[in-house]
Structures are given as C-alpha cells and as structure tokens.
Amino acid sequence: MDVVRRQDDRDLGRGLVEAAAELLHPAPGDRREVPLLRRAGGGDRDAAMWGNAGEDQRHDRSVASADTGRMRRIGIAVAALWLSACTSPTATSTATPVVASPTSAAASTAAAATTAAPAPTFVPRLTDQVVQANLVIPWDIAFAPDGQMLVTERGGTLQVFESGASGARKLATLAVANVVQNGESGLMGIAVDPEFTTNGFVYVCATRTDQQAGGVVNEVLRYVLSGTSWTLDGFVIRTGMRSGGNHDGCRIRFDSTKHLWITMGETGTPSLAQDPNSLNGKVLRVNPDGSIPADNPIIAGATGRTAVYTWGNRNPQGIAFSGTDVYEVEHGENDDDEINFIQAGVNYGWPAVHQSGGAARGMTDPIWSSGNVTFATSGAAFVFGPSWGSWSGSLFVAALKDTSLRRFTVTPTVATQQDLLLKGKYGRLRAAVQGPDGALYVTTSNRDGRGSPVAGDDRVVRIAPSQP
C-alpha cells in the first residue's frame, strides 16, 4: 500500500510535445518561449520544480531559411533533452545534478547553444509491507554483510532471518543469558561490527543479572556469531550502567570511524544525568573492545576521561549518523521530546532544563522539540540513495505513543519535520534502520504493555522507496 502518491506525468509529457511542435511550426510573426515547467498540484510535500529549458528559444519568420532550419534542429534537441530528463529514472540524482548527455549531432548543437537542464529530483513513492510477524516486543534490528536480518526481542532472544525480504526463512533463535525483562528493561540495542566478515562480532545491550557487576545492571556484551550459533566473547561495558524499570535506553550503533556509540537513560533517577561520574543519562562512545578513545572529552567534574561523550540526556533511544555528524533522539517527560546535534562534552540540560533556555546556564538546547506534547520518539535513521530522490539524507524517527514515523530535514542547528507517515497504521513504532537494500525497516512494539496488539503483532515493516 502506498504511503506517498504522486500525480501522473502524462499531461507533462503531452505538454512537452506540444511545446516542441510550436517551436518547429510557429505562427507567422509569432515569438514564443519554452515555458518553465512545474509539477502540478500536490501542496508543499508533492510540489517540485523541474527546472527550465535553459536559454529561451525564439523563432522569427523573418530570418533566412538556413537560420530557420538551424533553429528547428535546436528546438528538436531541446524537446528531446526535456523528454529524456522527465522520463528516464537513471537521470535522477540527489547530490550533483546529472545532465543528459548529447546523443546526436543535433543534440550536440543544442548543448552548445543552451544551458542543459539538470536532472529532476522527485518525492519517492513509498510502499510499506510486513516482512516478519508474531515477534515478541522486537527492540532493534541490525543487518549482517550477507544480508541476514538480526532482530532483538526484549525478553532476551535474538531472531536471525535469512534476509529482510517478506517471509524470509528464520535461521536461528539465540539467547542472551540472565536477561531481566522488567518494564522497559531487557534485551535492547544491537550492532554488527564493521569487520564482521573477519571477526563475526555482534554487540548487544541488555539488562542482566550479573553478580560480578553488582546485581541487575545494563551491560554491552560482545558475541561471535557463526552460522546458526553464537558464543559470548566478552564485555564492552560491564559496570557503571545502572538499570531500572524505565529509561534504560539503550541504542547502540557504529559510526564511520568504527567507534561504538551507546545511548543510556537515567533509569528514572534524573539526578544521574547531571552526575559526571555516572554513565546513566548520557551518550557514550567507546572503541569496539570497550577502551576509551583518546579524543573523548573530559566532562566537567569527572575524575578523568571516560566513556561519557555527552550528558544531561533523559531517555535517549535513537542515535544516527550523517557523515561525521551525530544526532540523538530522546523522550521528554510529558512534553518536549528532543532531537540533539551531538557535540563532545556538551550538557543537554536534563533535568535542570528540558525546554529552550539552556544556553544561559551553560547548556545546549535541542535542534528540535515536540513542544507541549510527547510523541515518545524512539529509534532514528538517516536514509541515503538515489531511490529516495529528494528525500535522500532525511532523518526518520519512529514514535511509540504517537504510533507514527516522522521525516525530518536536519542541519546541526535545526531539525524541521516534513512528513508524518504510517500514523496509526501499525501501532507503536520503536526501531528504524536502513537495510542493505536501501529500504527502511521499522519494528512495532504493541505487546510491551502499552499498546493494543492485534493478530500478527509484533512485526517488522519494510518501507521501500521508488521513483513515481
């Protein structure tokens, strides 16, 4: 079922042909220009300017016949270029505009005489499809290099599927030992090592009973996944992350420099977010073996350099990367969900400040806030690729309470909501991950005690873009 629909382009193509005909056979004494073409209708979301035809092509019946023939050839070439740009999917680019290459002598003449039109961008047509069903509170998704889809379930199991395709075969159900599912705690985030093809490492964040670590705690563990089995390889973070029945976080992701990022909630104790020597209420950054990167900041008041990268975070459940830029998404209390641009050593204010105005107190305000409502924003992912058209580079944020998926355009200074998708269709949405096929994958969370489960819950939904 389509999430976003576009109008048919047949009228546009017909208009181009008519315009070309007028160029070739103008009325006596008439002077005409190739018009600026725009997508008709659709409002702000669907409107798209397709560009112009370069320099105006004018025809005067008083010119010599040789000039008339030359101008007619130019008119044909311009019309051909326009039709190629508007109908060829391969002419689309979301970074540097692609110019259609001349394919004939007439086209070469036109290219020399005019400014070639850039390839059009487009709003993608989205199709959503349930690819896996009957899961039990799926929390996060990761993909192995061979396309296998790994899904964590809060109760402590990892489901391994052959791929993200609809109905893909389940290869294994694996367990994390001693997981404690209590309220919002349990098995949560998952990440695949950037060197997985050589080391087989998979990382998970889980609430576990671990007497050596002090009882029931949140931990980041590393496993070796081989075929349909895995073995515990060790701990990335074993101590320092308190657990509670709520606000446990815990999303984990690798960035392009192979650092592992962990979002850790304040577990319902707000003061921990402002404690520089606690790992709770923070965004953490470590090397894959758990050691501390040399360029991690030293937080004011801390005893030294630690895993803490930012502090003053309430219940961060989303982290996403656009190049080297890092963005974090967190739940507000009863309002003011946030998107934050992550900077080393920055204090984002919780609980002292949970709206704007933190700068006056040496803290940093979010680049987006939900205002006086809460959507319970959770997982987040940027999407990239030509199939996403003008939406490539957008940040998608899953919302639990609001039962929706929201699209944002973001910069380090501001995030702007552009689209509201899937509202109410699948219920509570938690994870958001771009798969190796370019599609966006989201998980539902309707069996977590706060949703209204229906037959088939919980599910993994694939959202695939295409050119209209």
Predicted confidence at residue 354, as pLDDT, reads 77
Same domain membership, residue 171 and residue 97: no
pLDDT at 26 over 90: no
Mean pLDDT confidence for 443-465 = 97
The answer to whether position 289 is within a domain reads yes
Domain boundary among 89, 113, 137: 113
Same domain membership, residue 318 and residue 440: yes
Mean pLDDT confidence for 350-379 = 91
Query: What's the CA gap between 274 and 263, in Å, rounded?
Result: 15
The answer to whether position 435 is within a domain reads yes
314, 331 contact by CB (below 8 A):
yes
Same domain membership, residue 342 and residue 226: yes
CA distances from residue 23 to 68, 75, 82, 116, 301 in whole angstroms, order as listed: 11, 6, 14, 17, 74
The answer to whether position 381 is within a domain reads yes
The answer to whether position 118 is within a domain reads no
> Which tokens in the block code for residue 298?
């030293």
Same domain membership, residue 138 and residue 109: no
Question: What are the start-end ranges of the H helices in 172-329?
Answer: 196-199
382, 395 contact by CB (below 8 A):
yes
pLDDT at 86 over 80: no
**Cα dihedral 122/463/203/256 (nearest 10):** 0
Same domain membership, residue 55 and residue 146: no
pLDDT at 456 over 90: yes
For 26, the domain range is: 2-113
**pLDDT tens-digit map of 118-138:** 545 899 999 999 999 999 999
The answer to whether position 120 is within a domain reads no
Domain boundary among 113, 147, 169: 113
Same domain membership, residue 142 and residue 186: yes
CA angle, 341 as apex, 338 and 347 as ends, to 5°? Answer: 80
The answer to whether position 57 is within a domain reads yes
Compute the mean pLDDT over every residue in the chain, rounded to the nearest whole number.
Answer: 82
Domain boundary among 53, 85, 113: 113
Confidence tier at 367 by pLDDT (50, 70, 90): very high
**pLDDT tens-digit map of 303-332:** 999 999 999 999 999 999 999 999 999 999
> Which tokens in the block code for residue 131?
């690819």
Query: What's the CA gap between 242 and 264, in Å, rounded?
Result: 9
Same domain membership, residue 299 and residue 256: yes
Same domain membership, residue 438 and residue 303: yes
Same domain membership, residue 227 and residue 361: yes
Mean pLDDT confidence for 44-54 = 33
Same domain membership, residue 163 and residue 59: no
Closest to 263 measured CA to CA, from 297, 310, 306: 310
Q: Domain tally for the chain?
A: 2
Same domain membership, residue 143 and residue 39: no
Same domain membership, residue 434 and residue 316: yes
CATH code at 141? 2.120.10.30
The answer to whether position 328 is within a domain reads yes
The answer to whether position 90 is within a domain reads yes
pLDDT at 34 over 50: no
